[in-house]
Chains A and B, each alone.
Chain A
Amino acid sequence: MAGMSTKRLQKELVKIQGALPPGISLVSAPDLREWQMDISVLDNPLYSPTDKFRLRFMFSASYPIEAPEVVFMMVSSPERKIPIHPHIYSNGIICLDLLDSQGWSPVHNVESVCISLQSMLASNTKDERPPGDAEFVKMNRQRPRDINFLFHDNKV
């Protein structure tokens, strides 16, 4: 069996193509393996409301039982940077419990993940990268889902 992801993603796509909350848009969904979304932050002086950030979702056949792999992407045209945030490494890897296998729940979906990331950026007060960012970016060869993050800080 192809896994349950196909049907579920087809339905999510139909819904997403219909309507999305402000500041969230679908960029491309060429197949049911990888989608790209843009999000913008509307009410935080740290980010310009016209700046958009590109997210890449990668789904396994067991989605939504398994979490999707979600990272921010750098794109040159149109320009998409990696947002500055103490839980987002400069290579786009995100440290968010929701995206970890422990914190993931199958009732989440692409839209709710985008909303969570949007609100994580909206509530940010620190104009900085995670501690040890340069080191992590240089050393890390693991895929995001294989990294064991420690979620020690629930305030940011």
Chain B
Amino acid sequence: MAHIADALKDKGNTAFRNGEYLDAEELYTQAIQKYSRNPLIFTNRANARLKLQKWDAAVNDCLKSIDLTASGQNHKAFYFLAQAQLALNHPHEALSSALTAYDQVRSPAPSTRTSPKDLETFSAFVLKCKKAKFAVRDRERLRRQGDLRAELEETLERAKKVELDHVTRSLDAMRLGNVEAKEQSEEIFATYDGKRAELRKVFELADPTHHKPREVPDHLVDMITFEPMHDPVITKMGHSYERATIYEHLKRSPTDPLTRDPLTINDLRPNFGLKAACDEFWEGGASEWILDW
């Protein structure tokens, strides 16, 4: 039965590449009915379901796939899981899945196939989850203070969710194609990001002491992406960079970005102290705020 399943999976992959996600999902489902012990079919179906915005179903597929992988090394499943969890507004779980995916591509088990872009992609996603988690905690903190901004932001969140659910339902009922659904969702996200930014701006102007956004200190920021670091590595010259971005640079030019001295990936060492400081920025900062009141 396994070879029939593989044939169906290949057909599913072709449909996926052509953007026919509903067909792909259906073919993977048929493949699973023939043979249900192959974790790859589950990760592929999860990916199709992510495109179809079927978040819960995607979560189940990822968990099944991870369950079937004896070695535990299944970075794709963890990455898809993180995406679905974030979409479901569970940034805490999403971060933990994203970090697992990241760790697994950073030091892959022997004979694991990873794509050269994975580290960069996963690294960026870890950061996205951290920000989402931080935003939720910040709002929670404000809400407990009976803050008007938090209440308004939650109202916006709810309105956004209603609109997004509407898109998902239209997609399910096939009143909308994938491309349109994706465009509409992106537009909804952009609109609400804009509204939230405006709202925050108003509150910041009205009451700077309580609503000023916290700035990330320079020493925690990667000099290449200008984003906060989460896995900093240090060069021979003593400068620290985010691992994924300095790897990307060294692939093209094996030199220290600041001094131009020769530099390779093997010369890099993790900077544990700085990593602790980065973690503290995300963790400690929020709890300090909660302690404030």
Contacts and interface: CB of A to CB of B under 8 A. Distances in A.
Given A1-B117, A65-B252, A7 B258 contact: no
Interface residues of A, number: 15
Interface in B238-261: 245, 248-249, 252-253, 255, 257-258, 260
A105 B260 CA distance: 8
A66 B223 CA distance: 14
Interface string B83-127: 000000000000000000000000000000000010011001000
Contacts, number: 45
Contacts of B145: none
Nearest to A4: B225
Nearest to A108: B257
A12 B121 CA distance: 21
A102 B124 contact: no
A1 B257 contact: no
Q: How large is the interface on B (under 10, 10 to 19, 20 to 34, 35 or more residues)?
A: 10 to 19
A101 to B, nearest CB: 8
Chain B interface mostly: loop
B280 interface: no
A4 B255 contact: no
Chain A interface mostly: loop
A8 B224 CA distance: 8
Contacts of A19: none
A65 B227 contact: no
A7 B128 CA distance: 12
Interface of B: 117, 120-121, 124, 223-227, 245, 248-249, 252-253, 255, 257-258, 260
